[in-house]
Structure 1
Amino acid sequence: MTLTNRIQNLMQALCQEFPERQDRLQLAFLAAINDEPFYLYGRTGSGKNFMINRLLAAFKKPRFIEMGSRPQEIPGSIDDYDVILFKGFNPIDDATKECVRNALQKRKHTTLILSSDVRPENAMGRADIVDEITLTICMPDNLSSESLCMLLQNYSLSEDFKAPEEYTISEEEKTTWADEIQKIALSTETMAIIGKLSDLCIQNAIYVPISKWLSLANIARTIAFFNGRNQTTFSDTLFLGTPIWGRSTSNNSIVESFIDIVKSVILKDLANVIATTYDADTLYRKVKGMLNSSNNLYETKEFNGEPCISYRITVAGEQTPLYVPLHYVETVEDFNPYNELRKIEKNVRCNFHGTSSCTISINSTVKSVGLRNNNSRNENSAPAKFEDFATLPTYILRENDPEVAKKKRIELEACQKEAQTQMEQQAKILRSLRDLYQSNKTFRNDLFCNLEIFDKIQADLSDIFNTINGVATKLKETLELYNSASKN
């Protein structure tokens, strides 16, 4: 039996009849393997004592002492114990705080558990130990109805639970593993994720001491070690995206940003192309417009950096200029023209309906006040209801102009080359995304993999793939459109 199989069987045994809390027990186990202190928070009846009993059952003959809520001294040396539990921790007096502080400072190879129904930031803040606790593990208040029914049917109240002896961990093994865990290399991905998390903490004024970063890195190493790897992967860091950080404000900032941080690291080679998805729809419309339009030469004026048709309309007694980009002439799509401020005029909608005459509609709310009225430019107003207003012709300087035909031919060839180049680039991106998604799938069955975060990351990768695939499909349609017209 491999070590991975053994630990997997051990965790399955420990998590029996403990629904929807397995990830908390796994975190507690990882902390105990590394002798890290953790704060266990939950309301009465949330399963804190049950979890501690299961955690202790993972080890052979653990030396354990429970400290009550009343102030008392730890008998003997702290290192005489493998686990010290401060049950019902509430630092309402100096003696309790001093006892915990001494234990945190003097311990060498002892796991300290602070179990309480007092919110972590309150209890640890009053005791001034928040930066010395490696993990905060919060028990959920409720069970889903399905899990509750299953628990009621199968749960036994036996306090004599014992994990199968062949799976439990001796002190000697734990010591040996500690040396092996230190040999696990932190991958470039792991270091990048931790680095970006550190930057996030600095930006949000979240203080995380170096000692805590070292402890968290060791937990990532431990996950890799139990999965039989000699180097960490991004999946070994997913526990960092859970509410382990003590203060609720810290948890919120880190949890909200964590998935984006991981994606930015695993997609680092594709970051630029994904951040600015190629606009294949615009290229398609441009090609289609040039292929379906005439070669007429229209009267235009340069406006906002492009040739435009100039119109004037009178709304509520005031004459207002509008500027329509030339490339919309003879197309069939709705669009907003420019106004005299060189901005998109959202209260006016135009459409040429495949001809050279422009149909103009205006927002019904500006009919009585005009386009220049401040109220008409309020972008936070209700959705616009457009009404037909006018149909204005476009002045043709010359029909079937050879220069226009030549220019369109050159532009079409340039569009064809661009579509072909982009097709190749998008295909390369799709292959990279597919390979990344497939390689990541192997981590889903890993020990201690946070499935909720992992599945969200994979779902996001799938969405990105579908978006890029949509771009590639539209580029293919553009090339087919061009090739079909060339044959004719």
Structure 2
Amino acid sequence: MTLTQRISELLQALNNGIPERETCIQLGFLATVTSEPFFIYGRAGSGKTMLTDRLAQTFKASNHLKINRHTQQLPENLGKYDFIAFQDFNPADDVAKENIQIALHNRKGAALTISSDQRPESVLNRAEIADQITLTISLPDSLSPAALCDLLQNLDRLENVSIPEALTVSKEERKQWCEEIKKVELSHETLRVISHLAELCDQSDIYVPIRKWLALANIARAIAFFNGRKQTVITDILFLGMPIWGKATSNSTITENFPGIVKSVMMSEIPEMLHEPYDAKTLHSKVKTLLHSSNNLYETKMFNNEPCLSYRITIAGEPTPLYVPLRYVESDEDFNPFNELKQVETRVRCNYHGTSSCTISIDSSVKNVGLRSSMSRNLSATAKFEDFATLPSYILKENDPQVAAEKKVKLEEYKKEAVAQTEKQTKYLFALRDLYQANKALRENLFCNKQLFDSIQGEVRSIFEANNVTANTLKETLELFKSLGKTSAT
């Protein structure tokens, strides 16, 4: 049996009969084996004592010390214990507070946990030990209906648990493992995530002691070690994106931003994919419009830094000028014109429907007040547009050679852009596919937070799908050019 198989079976045995606490058991095990002090938070009856009792069974012939609120004096030699558990800790108790501080300094490598039904930010700060606790494990308040029914039907699994001795950890083994864990290399990818996370903490005024960063990095090494690797991978640090940070505000900030940090590091070779995908739809529309439009020269004027057709409509007895960019003429898409203030007028909608005549629709709420009235500025999201007028465009010259030449130049530019973007999108798609497939195998690693992993992988897949749509639209655009070549040949 490999070490990875053994730890997997040990975790299953520790978790036997405790529904929906697998992640808590895993985090507790990692902190226990690496001798990192941790805090268990949960309401009365959430399973804190059961969790600590199970974790104590990690060790072979475990020498387990339980300290409760009635304990007045600690044993002299704390180093002889494998596991020390402070249960129902209350920081208002000066004796208990002093006992914890003594234990933290004199435990000589013994695993140590503190449990309480008081919030960690309150308990740890009042006990003056916040900087010495590596992570916080928060137990859920309740069980899902399915888990509760399973628990009620299988109480024997909960009450009669015996960890096979062959799976338990001896003192000598733990000492040897700790030495081997120190030798595990933190990968460049792992360090980048930690670096970005530390930067987030600085920006958000979240204080994380250097001792804690060292301890968390050691847990990441332990995860790699128990998976049989000599270097960490991205899944070894997913536990950092869990609410292990003590304060509720810290947990909220970190858990909200952590998936984005991991995704940015995973996609560092293709950072362009973290932004909005290329607007292939607009390029396709431009090419389609140019290919199917005439070579007419229209009367225009420069407005808002582009040639526009000018219209004047009267709403509520008030003449109102509108300016329509020339690029929309003879197209078949809805758009909003400019108003006289050079702003996009969202209360008016236009469409040429492939002709030179502009169909104008207005929001029904401005019919009686006009576009200039302040009463019409605040429109609802469900604005209702009504047909208002269809106005012609003044043609200065039909089949103008200069217009034809300009269109030819534009089409050539668009073709080059479509070809270049197709090459880029193809490269991106292959890179995204390879990234997704490479990470897919990591899901079954020990201690992998599958929920967070699936969420990040899902985002990678969504980016792939979005860019696949972009690539297909670019392909359709290039087909338009091919159809033009066939028409010219005919």
Identify whether the pair has TM-score above 0.5, normalized to the shorter chain.
yes
CA distance in 2 between counterparts of 1:132 and 1:454 reads 29
1:471 counterpart letter in structure 2: T
Q: 1:168 to 1:203 in 2, by over 3 A?
A: same
Secondary structure at the aligned position of 1:369 is classed as coil
What is the CA distance between 1:14 and its match in structure 2? 1.6
Question: Does residue 285 of the first structure (1) align with residue 254 of the second (2)?
Answer: no
1:394 counterpart letter in structure 2: S
1:197 counterpart letter in structure 2: L
Other-structure match for 2:127: 127
CA distance in 2 between counterparts of 1:287 and 1:297 reads 18
CA distance in 1 between counterparts of 2:26 and 2:302 reads 67
Equivalent residues in 2 for 1:155-234 (5 A)?
Answer: 155-156=155-156, 159=159, 161-234=161-234
CA distance in 2 between counterparts of 1:49 and 1:69 reads 14
CA contact (8 A) 1:295 1:400 kept: yes
Secondary structure at the aligned position of 1:114 is classed as strand
CA distance in 2 between counterparts of 1:382 and 1:177 reads 61
Secondary structure at the aligned position of 1:73 is classed as coil
Secondary structure at the aligned position of 1:283 is classed as helix
1:391 counterpart letter in structure 2: T
TM-score of the two chains, using structure 2 as the length reference: 0.97
What is the CA distance between 1:331 and its match in structure 2? 1.1
Equivalent residues in 2 for 1:69-108 (5 A)?
Answer: 69-108=69-108
CA distance in 2 between counterparts of 1:215 and 1:126 reads 22
TM-score of the two chains, using structure 1 as the length reference: 0.97
Other-structure match for 1:250: 250
What is the CA distance between 1:123 and its match in structure 2? 1.5
Question: How many residue pairs were aligned?
Answer: 487
Other-structure match for 1:430: 429
CA distance in 2 between counterparts of 1:441 and 1:18 reads 28
Other-structure match for 2:466: 467
Cα offsets for 1:74-93 (capped at 9, x unmatched): 11122122211111111122
Percent identity of paired positions between Structure 1 and Structure 2:
56
Equivalent residues in 2 for 1:59-458 (5 A)?
Answer: 59-156=59-156, 159=159, 161-378=161-378, 381-458=380-457
Q: CA RMSD in A?
A: 1.3
1:402 counterpart letter in structure 2: P
Secondary structure at the aligned position of 2:443 is classed as coil
2:249 counterpart letter in structure 1: T
Secondary structure at the aligned position of 1:161 is classed as coil
What is the CA distance between 1:159 and its match in structure 2? 4.9
CA distance in 2 between counterparts of 1:158 and 1:111 reads 23
Of 101-110 and 427-436, more deviation after overlay is shown by 101-110
Secondary structure at the aligned position of 1:330 is classed as coil
Secondary structure at the aligned position of 1:327 is classed as helix
CA distance in 2 between counterparts of 1:320 and 1:270 reads 48
CA contact (8 A) 2:17 2:158 kept: no
CA distance in 1 between counterparts of 2:187 and 2:440 reads 18
Of 24-33 and 38-47, more deviation after overlay is shown by 38-47
1:302 counterpart letter in structure 2: M
What is the CA distance between 1:147 and its match in structure 2? 1.6
CA distance in 1 between counterparts of 2:25 and 2:33 reads 12
CA contact (8 A) 2:181 2:221 kept: yes
1:210 counterpart letter in structure 2: I
CA contact (8 A) 2:264 2:274 kept: no
What is the CA distance between 1:145 and its match in structure 2? 1.6
Secondary structure at the aligned position of 1:268 is classed as coil
CA distance in 1 between counterparts of 2:276 and 2:19 reads 43
CA contact (8 A) 1:57 1:161 kept: no
Other-structure match for 2:475: 476
CA distance in 1 between counterparts of 2:420 and 2:53 reads 62
1:417 counterpart letter in structure 2: K
1:395 counterpart letter in structure 2: Y
Cα offsets for 1:53-92 (capped at 9, x unmatched): 2212221012211111135221112212221111111112
CA contact (8 A) 1:238 1:449 kept: yes
Of 25-34 and 115-124, more deviation after overlay is shown by 115-124
Q: Structure 1: which 5+ residue stretches go unaligned?
A: none
